[in-house]
Every structure is written in structure tokens, then in C-alpha cells.
Structure 1
Amino acid sequence: MTVRPDTGEIQQAPVAAFLASHLNGRTDEELSAEFHTLLDAVRTHGKKGQMTITIVVDPPANGVDSAPMPIGVESALKAPKPTPVKSLYFLDDDGQPVRDDPRQMSIEFRTAPTTDFKKA
């Protein structure tokens, strides 16, 4: 933050410019890649997603005012996932999941005999 001597106006550096230049642009590239991953996942699954960018600032070493301040950028991506496919089950008398309804009477199936029909 700087103060213009002629107007006394406080000028602050834009955070977007900081993110673009952090680690020689590597942070901007990584954040952009994650952002597009999020966009693709939202488009594919039709659900909302979220990207959180955190700027972490540590105090200067040994509390010295003129010492450099370590600044890091972290991101967390919550991209939507496909809805898992579900299958229907019934609970048997022992409480175990089974595919066939235990209350339903079972019918035995037989293979019908085949006959050859020949056209005369």
C-alpha cells in the first residue's frame, strides 16, 4: 500500500496482479488449471462446485519490521462427482441384503422344448 504524495490517496496493489505474478506466474497457471477442471466437472455432472483460494501470510522472521514476509497461496477444489448408481435390495429374516424379495414366492422355470417346423 502506498500513499500518493500529491493527493494523499491510498493505492493498494490488486490481488489479481499479485496472484498472476506469484512464483513467476506458476500460481496463476495452477489456479487456472484447477478452475477449468471445476468448470468441466460442473458442466459434466450438472451440479455445483467450489474453489477456495487462500493467501497465507506469515509474520516477518524474528519480528523484524524490515524482514521479508513469507506469502503462500493455497487452493482447495470441491468438484462435483457423478451420482453413484444404486441397486435395490431386500432384507431377509437375518437382516442381510438380498436381491430377491424374501416374501415373494419363487417360481421354478423350465426350458420349453423346441420343435422343428419345416415348410412343405
Structure 2
Amino acid sequence: MTVQPDTGEIQQAPVAAFLARHLNGRTDEELSTEFHTLLDAVRAHGKKGSMTITIVVDPPANGVESAPMPIGIESAVKAPKPTPVKSLYFLDNDGMPVREDPRQTQLDFRTAPTTTDYKDA
């Protein structure tokens, strides 16, 4: 933040311009890639997602006022994921998941004999 001595106007550095210049533009490229990955995932899964950008500022080394301040950019993307496919199971008497209902009685099926003799009507 800079104060203009003749007008007293306060000038602040635009955050977007800072992000675009940080690490010679590499941060902007990485954030853009993550942003478009998020957009693709939201479009593909029809669910919301989010992206958080954090600017981390460390104090100057050894508390020296004129020393440089380390500034880093961190990002976190919470992209939606596909809903996992589920399958239905029953619990048997031992509490184990099984595909067939243990309370249902089993019917023994057998193949009916085949014939080629047809009765004329």
C-alpha cells in the first residue's frame, strides 16, 4: 500500500495482478489448470466443487524491517467425484454380508424335460 504524497490517495496492489506475476507467471498457469480441472469435474458429475487460494505471507527474516517478505501461494481443489456404484446385500445370522436373503427359503429348480412330440389340435 502506497500513499500518494500530493493527493493523499492510497494505492493498493491488485491481487489479480500479483497472482499473475508471482513466480514469473507459473502460479497463474498452475491455478488456471486447477480451475479448469475443477470446471470439467463439475460439468462431468453435475455436482458442486470448490477451489481455495491462500496467500501465505511470512514476516521478514530476523525481524528486520527492510528485509524481504517471503510470500507463497497455496491452493486446494475439492472437485466432485462420481457417485460410487452400490450393490445390495443381506446380513446372515453371523452378521456377514451375503447376496441372497437368508430368510428366503430356497427352491430347488430343475430343468423340465424337453420333447419334440407335439399334440395336434
The interval holding the TM-score normalised by the smaller chain is over 0.9
Matches within 5 A, 1:24-35: 24-35=24-35
Letter in 1 for 2:104: Q
| Cα deviation code 1:3-62 (max 9, x no counterpart) | 112210100000000000000000000000000000010111111101010000000011
| Cα deviation code 1:65-104 (max 9, x no counterpart) | 0000000000001100001111000011111110000011
Matches within 5 A, 1:8-87: 8-87=8-87
Q: Normalising to structure 2: TM-score of the pair?
A: 0.91
Letter in 2 for 1:68: P
> Deviation at 1:111?
3.0
Supply the distance in 1 between the matched residues of 2:31 and 2:114 (Cα, whole angstroms). 67
> Deviation at 1:105?
1.1
> Deviation at 1:110?
2.3
Supply the distance in 2 between the matched residues of 1:115 and 1:26 (Cα, whole angstroms). 78
Supply the distance in 2 between the matched residues of 1:112 and 1:27 (Cα, whole angstroms). 72
Letter in 1 for 2:67: A
Number of residue-to-residue matches in the alignment: 118
Letter in 1 for 2:111: T
Supply the distance in 2 between the matched residues of 1:17 and 1:63 (Cα, whole angstroms). 27
**Which residue number corresponds to residue 4 of structure 1?**
4
Gaps of 5+ in 2: none
**Which residue number corresponds to residue 97 of structure 1?**
97
Gaps of 5+ in 1: none
